[in-house]
Structure 1
Amino acid sequence: MATDLRVLDPAEWDHWYGTLEVAFGGVLETPEKRALMESLTEHERSLGVWDGDQCVGTAGAFSFRLAVPGGALVPAAGVTMVSVAATHRRRGTLTSMMRRQLDDVRTWGESLAVLTASEPAIYGRYGYGAATQELRAEIDTSRVRVSVPEGADGIRLRRAEPHDPAVQEACEAVYAAEVATRPGMLARRPGWERVPVIDGEKVMDGMSALQCVLAERDGEVLGFTLFRNRPEWDKSGPKGTIELQDLYASDPLAYASLWRFVSEIDLTSTLRVRNRPVDDPFQHLVSDVRRCGLTVRDALYVRLVEVGAALEARTYRTPVDVVLEVEDAFCPWNEGRWRLTGDTKGASCERTADEADLILTATELGAAYLGGVSLASLARAARVREARPGALAEASTAFTSDLAPWLPHGF
C-alpha cells in the first residue's frame, strides 16, 4: 500500500507522537512532558507519513532563531521529532520527509536548518554537518576544588522553587541575555522556559526533584543553576552525586560562585556535567583538571538551506574574499560558485562565474558555519579542496569564532 506524506492535523497529534515514542524505544513520556510537547509542537510545520490509518513516520520543525558569529539571531528550522517505524525502514520514508521538509523551510524564508542527531551517520547525506560539540565531565569533588576570584563575597546564593513562574522568568532572562554572546545558542519562543523544569523519569531513578539556586547582587539575578542530587552511601559514608542540568551567569563572579556551590554540596563526592561548551571557563577554576573526566561529543548539526543568505547572515573574524564552489545534490539550488566577501561588520555572498578558490560540499559548509570546526581541519581530512593557494588559510581564519559554538539543550 502506498504511503501518504502530509502536514500534521492537530487531531492526529496523539497518534503521531505515539509513533515517535515507539521508535525511540517505547518508553512513554510523563503526562506533564507529553502535554508540554503537544503545546510546543508547531502542527503546520510538522509532517507525518501514513500507511492507511497508521502513522509510520514523523518529523517536525520548531521556529527558532540561532545565534551566529557576529551576534545576529537568524531564523532557523529546528528539525525535531524525526522517526520512522521499524516496519517501514529502507523504503525511502526518511528521505521523503527530509526532501519535503527542506523544500518547506526554503519556502518559509529560513536559510538554516539545525538538528541533533540520534545517530551521527544519518544526516550527512542530507547536507547536515556537525557544527558544535558538547563537553562532558565527571568531577571528583572530593579531590577537586573550585577557586573563586576576589570580590565574590558580594554574590548572594539563594535557593528558589524552580516551578515558580517568577523564578522561571528570572532564569529565562539570564539565558536570553547569553544567547547573542555565543554562536549555536537558540533564542527560545514562549513556553520553552518550562522545558528545563519538567521532571521526568530521572526523578524515579534515585534522584531528587529538580533544585534551583539563584546568584544575586543587590537583588538582581545574575545567574542560576538547576541540578538534581542522587544520594548514595556505602560503608565508608556518603558518596552522593550532583547531576548538573544548567548553569548560566552574566557575571564572572556569579559564575564562579555557582560552580563552587555545586561542587561543595554536603554528602556528595561527584559532580556529573552532561553538556557544557568545550571552552567552558570552569576548566580554569578547578584545582585539578585531570580529575574532571572530560570528554566531548557531537551536538548541533547545521544545514545551509540557502547558501547565499546564510553566509551573509553572519560576520567574519578577519577580512575574507573567496569563491566557494559548493556541491549540494540534495538541495541543487545551492550548487555552483559563490563569492563570499566579508569582515567583522558584515558580508556579501553572491553567485559568480569566477574560478573556485575552495571546493566543498554543503555538509562541510554546515560544519564550519558557526566557527567551531575549521576549514583547515576539514581540508586535512580531504573534505575541503584548495584550488587557489592561500585561500584555505584566509577562509579558515575568517570563519572561526572567538567563543566555541554551543547548543545548551536539545529539542
Structure 2
Amino acid sequence: MRAITPDEFVQWNRAEARAYGNRLDNDPEVLRPHFDLDRSIAVFDEGNIVGGAHSHRIEMSVPGSSLATAGVANIAVQPTHRRQGVLTRMMHHQIRDIHERGEPLAALFASESAIYGRFGYGIGSLREQWTIERQHNAYARRHESHGKVVFVDPEDITKELPEVSRRSTVGRPGVIQKTIHLWERESQAPEHRQGGRGGLFYVAYVDGGTVDGYAKYRTSGTTLVVNELMAITEEANAALWRFCFEVDLVTITEADRRPVDDPLPWMLADPRRLHRTTRDGMWLRLVDVAAALKTRHYMESGGLVLDVRDDLCTWNEGRFELEGSSKGAICRSSNSSPDLVLSVRDLASAYLGTVSFTTLSRAGLVDECTPGALQRADRMFAVQHQPWTPYGF
C-alpha cells in the first residue's frame, strides 16, 4: 500500500471505475491538475492496483464557523479482492494521515451505508428526495414575483451562480461549496454540445438586474428533475419552483438532495401529495475531537464533560471538558466525572445538529451520567438551519 506515481494515475482511475462496474469514459487527464498524488492510496497485488482511495482538503461550514475537512472519495476495492481486509487497511491509514495533516474532520458520501460506521463515521447530514404530480403542485398562498426567470448559457454559470450558492447557504452547517474548477468543468461538460433529449439546463431568477437564485434541471420523458435550486430570497425560491412545476409537457417534478427543513413542503396547498424520502447525505468523522468541538459555536452557553469512545484514534479516547457559547468554545482533556458517554461516531452525528443527544440516548447510543446533561447538550448543539450538503466533492 502506497501513494501512486504520476505514471500510475490512469491505471488508478481505471481500477476505481472497474470496482463500481463502470467504464472509464471520461479522459482522466481532466482530473489530474486537481489531484494530489500525495493524498492517494493504492493497494497493489503483483503490480496491479486492486484497491484505492483519495482525499483532498476542503472547507466545511460548521455552526458559526468553518473547518478544514478531508473530503474522502474514490474508495474502491476490486471485486477480486473483496473481504480480504483491503478497505480496512486503507481507511485506517487514511485517518491517521488526515490527523497528521491537521484536518480535524473527514467527510464522505457512502455508496453503502453499513460500511463506514466501523471507522468512526456517523451521519453528518440528511437529504430528502421529492416527487410531486403536476395537478397537486399549487401553492397555499399566492406568491408574487417582481423579477423574471431567464435561461443561463452553460458557459456563463461560473459568473454569478457560485456567489448565489454561497449566499443562499450562509449559516447552514454541513455545506461544502463547489470550487471554481468544478464549476468550470461543469460548464464545459461534453453533454452541453450533444443533441437530443435529456439535456441539462440552467435558469436564473433576476430582479432589478441582480441574480437572486438559480435552478439546474433536466427532463426525462414527462418528468422534470431538479438537480439544484438555490435561492437567496423567498421571492426567488417561490418563482423558481413555480417555473419548474409549470414547464410544458411535464407531468411530474422530482428533486434530490433537498434539506430536511426546506420551506417548499409548507408552501404547498396539499403537502401530502409531495412524496418525501429521507436518507443519509454526508457522513462525518471527527478526526480530532477537541479541535472540532472548540471551533464550532453553540446556541446556548454551557458546559459538558464528554467521555468519548474511539477505538481507532487513540488521541480521541477519553474525557473532554467543553465550555461553549455563541462566540466560540474551549475544549480540553479532563479527569472530571463525565456528563455523557458516547462513541465518536454518534458524536459526529450530533456535531452539526443533525440529531439531538436525547434522540441518540433513546436509541441506546448515549449514556447520561449527570441528570439534565442531555437537555443541556441538546440546547448547546441546537442549530437554526438543519445541516445540508448539497454538493459532492
Query: Per the shorter chain, which TM-score range?
Result: over 0.9
Structure-2 change in CA distance of 1:393 and 1:195 (3 Å):
farther
Which residue identity is paired with 1:341?
E
Q: Which residue of 2 aligns with 1:74?
A: 67
Alignment partner of 2:179 out of 176, 186, 189: 189
2:377 to 385, 390, 395: 395
Is the aligned partner of 1:9 residue 2:5? yes
Shifted more, 192-201 versus 315-324: the winner is 192-201
Alignment-derived partner of residue 257 in structure 1: 239
Please give the alpha-carbon distance, in whole angstroms, between the structure 1 residues aligned to 2:194 and 2:112.
Answer: 27
Contact 1:223/1:248, CA 8 A, preserved across alignment:
yes
| 1:133-152 to 2 correspondences below 5 Å | 133-146=126-139, 150-152=143-145
| TM-score (structure 1 length as normaliser) | 0.91
Residue aligning to 2:254: 272
Taking the aligned partners of 1:111 and 1:95, their CA distance within structure 2 comes to: 20
Choose the corresponding residue for 2:296, options 314, 330, 337. 314
Kept in 2, the 8 Å contact 1:358–1:386? The answer is yes
Instruction: Give, in whole Å, the separation in 1 of the partners of 2:281 and 2:188.
Output: 22
SS of the aligned residue for 1:186 comes to: coil
Question: Could you tell which deviates more after superposition, 386-395 or 45-54?
Answer: 45-54
Instruction: Show structure 1 runs of 4+ deviating over 4 A.
Output: 147-151, 195-207
- Report the count of equivalent residues: 393
Q: In the TM superposition, what is the alpha-carbon distance from 1:368 to its structure 2 partner?
A: 0.8
Structure 1, unaligned runs of 5 or more: 232-239
Superposed CA offset, 1:60-82 (max 9, x none): 11221000111x12110010000
- One-letter code aligned to 1:132: S
Query: Which whole-Å CA distance do the structure 2 matches of 1:25 and 1:201 have between them?
Result: 22
Q: Is residue 146–residue 263 contact of structure 1 (8 Å, CA) maintained in 2?
A: no
Identity fraction in percent:
35
Query: Residue type of the partner of 2:71?
Result: G
Q: 1:61 and 2:55 equivalent? A: yes
User: For residue 377 of structure 2, what is the amino acid of its counterpart?
Assistant: A
Number of the residue aligned with 1:371: 353
Return 5+ residue gaps in structure 2 as ranges. Answer: none
Aligned residue in 2 for 1:345: 327
Q: In the alignment, which residue of structure 2 is the partner of 1:302?
A: 284
Distance 1:160 1:376 in 2: 46
Contact 1:133 1:406 (C-alpha < 8 Å) held by counterparts:
yes
- Cα drift, residue 318 of structure 1: 1.2
* Structure 2 Cα separation of the partners of residues 150 and 195 of structure 1: 35
Q: Cα–Cα, structure 1 residues 149 and 7, in superposed 2: closer, same or farther, change >3 Å?
A: farther
**Is 1:30–1:200's contact at 8 Å kept on the other side of the alignment?**
no
Matched residue, 1:221: 211
Please list the CA deviations of residues 179-216 of structure 1 after superposition, one character each: whole Å capped at 9, or x if unmatched.
43211100333312135557589999985211111111
Offset from partner CA, 1:132-155 (integer Å, 9 cap, x none): 111110111222214675552x21
How far the C-alpha of 1:388 sits from its partner, in A, is 0.6
Cα deviations across residues 294-320 of structure 1 (Å, max 9, x unaligned)? 110111111111110000111111122
RMSD over aligned Cα atoms: 2.1
